[in-house]
Amino acid sequence: MSGWTGEDAEHKYLLSFVSMADKGLYSYDIDTYIGPGLAYHRVAVPLNRMAVDELPGHVQAIVRWTKLGRISFEQSSRIEYEPTLDA
């Protein structure tokens, strides 16, 4: 098979998300960029979670730009997009 179909495509898609989870990060992808109800969905869960203060400084700065309120990554398989934007 060629293109983005089948098991090979699924493997390629999941590879980077699993890699992030292996490093201790919850891994999300955006549902779609078109249409209402835009949200992120959880793709992979880390076995050993990493805290924000364990990330390199430049990565901490990027993570802290995102407004999540009191969202629990452990409990949230879906995160609405709009509340994550800086008001």
Strands, E assignment, the chain:
27-30, 39-44, 78-80
Residues of the chain with pLDDT under 50: 1-2, 87
Q: Locate the domains of the chain by residue range.
A: 6-84
**Tell me, what's the pLDDT at 22?**
94
SS3 70: coil
Largest Cα–Cα distance in the chain? Answer: 45
Give the span between the Cα atoms of 40 and 4, in whole angstroms.
21
- Residue 71 contacts by C-beta under 8 Å, 6 or more apart in sequence? 79
- Global model pTM greater than 0.75: no
pLDDT at 4: 59
**Residue 1: per-residue pLDDT:** 41
- pLDDT value at residue 52: 84
